Amino acid sequence: MLSHQEVLGNIFIQIANYLKGKTAKVIVGPFDVYFEKKDAITILQPDICVICDKNKLDDRGCIGAPDIVVEILSPGNNIKELLNKYQVYEEFGVNEYWVVSQSDQSILIYTLNELGKFQPSKIFTLSEKIASSVLPGFELLLDDVFEDLD
């Protein structure tokens, strides 16, 4: 099975190639994202972020919600942590939240609707491709994400 880093690299390369010559930026973790609300700040480190507004970037990281967040599940991920991230990403307006399952070789995309709530996609698996509402014309083949599997 591919390592966490290999899956991350495969997704990163595809997005980075798509973004060449565009103003959006793709960043791989560890990278701090600051979600600020009144007196509280929540700092998360997604595996991959796509940020369309470069004004959100400073020397600390990303201030406010990235446009796309990608989290790659590992055997050590705990459900409480995943639920917390889901809630923070939804509350602060992340447009797309991709959950990548190495063990199932699948990707589930949550897209923020007009009411500010996440709507899940179907689960995409091998031989399928995903598109992004944030990145028009971008397609990611799942075979490319999970290639080199034994």
The pLDDT of residue 4 is: 86
The pLDDT of residue 87 is: 96
What backbone torsions phi and psi does residue 143 show, to the nearest 5 degrees? -60, -35
129 found inside a domain:
yes
Give the CATH number of the domain where residue 61 resides: 3.90.1570.10
The pLDDT of residue 2 is: 73
104 found inside a domain:
yes
DSSP bridge pairs for 41: 36
12 found inside a domain:
yes
The pLDDT of residue 1 is: 60
Rounded to whole angstroms, how far apart are CA atoms 67 and 33?
A: 12
pLDDT at 149 over 60: no
Which class for 128: exposed (0-12), middle (13-18), buried (19 or more C-beta within 10 A)?
middle
150 found inside a domain:
no
79 found inside a domain:
yes
| Structure tokens, 82 | 């995943």
| Structure tokens, 39 | 């007196």
Give the range among 20-24, 79-83, 94-98, 123-127 with minimum mean pLDDT: 79-83
Question: Domain range spanning residue 59?
Answer: 4-145
pTM for this predicted structure: 0.93
| Structure tokens, 28 | 């791989």
Domain total of the chain: 1
Give tens-digit pLDDT for 2-31. Answer: 788 899 999 999 999 999 999 999 999 899
